[in-house]
């Protein structure tokens, strides 16, 4: 009998040499856990930050997750998103046969991103008659 699918979420960003920049990830994770009522949401960094992807994978697998949805904080589907992150995930999951993963799209594909940029720019450009 197949086990029920339990999905964990990895929130992946690149990581920075500036620790303060990496710390900005944790309040987002806490708020998403609260809003979604789900503790199986783990932050991780592709490089330059902790926890790294394999550590976060291990944490979610230990919590019983047998499927991982990987939300990437990457704007475009470049080399990291197309090659590096899938490779790191495959390697991290080698000791966990049966655990599957899927990677979400780059953020540039989300129409909401245009709305966000418009909102931010409209405040800046509100009084500027030369724009447009």
Residue 17 located in a structural domain:
yes
Q: Alpha carbon of 24 to those of 34, 43, 69, 110: distances in Å?
A: 17, 11, 21, 22
Residue 85 located in a structural domain:
yes
Residue 123 located in a structural domain:
no
Rounded Cα distance, 53 and 90, in Å? 11
Rounded Cα distance, 14 and 105, in Å? 15
Q: Residue 65's domain spans which residues?
A: 7-107
Residue 83 located in a structural domain:
yes
Rounded Cα distance, 94 and 22, in Å? 27
Tokens of 116: 């966000």
Residue 78 belongs to domain with CATH number? 3.40.50.1400
Residue 115 located in a structural domain:
no
What tens-digit pLDDT sequence spans the chain (132 residues)? Answer: 557 999 999 999 999 999 999 999 999 999 999 999 999 999 999 999 999 999 999 999 999 999 999 999 999 999 999 999 999 999 999 999 999 999 999 999 898 999 999 998 998 888 755 544
Tokens of 18: 């500036």
Domain count for the chain, please give it.
1
Residue 47 located in a structural domain:
yes
């Amino acid at each position: 009998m197949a086990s029920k699918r339990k999905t964990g979420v990895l929130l992946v960003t690149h990581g920075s040499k500036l620790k303060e920049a990496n710390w900005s990830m944790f309040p987002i994770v806490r708020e998403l856990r609260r809003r979604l009522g789900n503790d199986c949401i783990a932050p991780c960094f592709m490089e330059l930050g902790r926890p790294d992807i394999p550590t976060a994978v291990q944490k979610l697998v230990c919590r019983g997750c047998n499927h991982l949805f990987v939300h990437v904080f990457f704007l475009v589907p470049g080399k990291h998103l197309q090659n590096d992150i899938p490779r790191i995930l495959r390697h991290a999951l080698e000791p966990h046969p049966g655990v599957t993963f899927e990677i979400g799209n780059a953020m540039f594909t989300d129409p909401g991103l245009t709305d966000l940029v418009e909102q931010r720019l409209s405040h800046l450009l509100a009084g500027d008659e030369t724009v447009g």
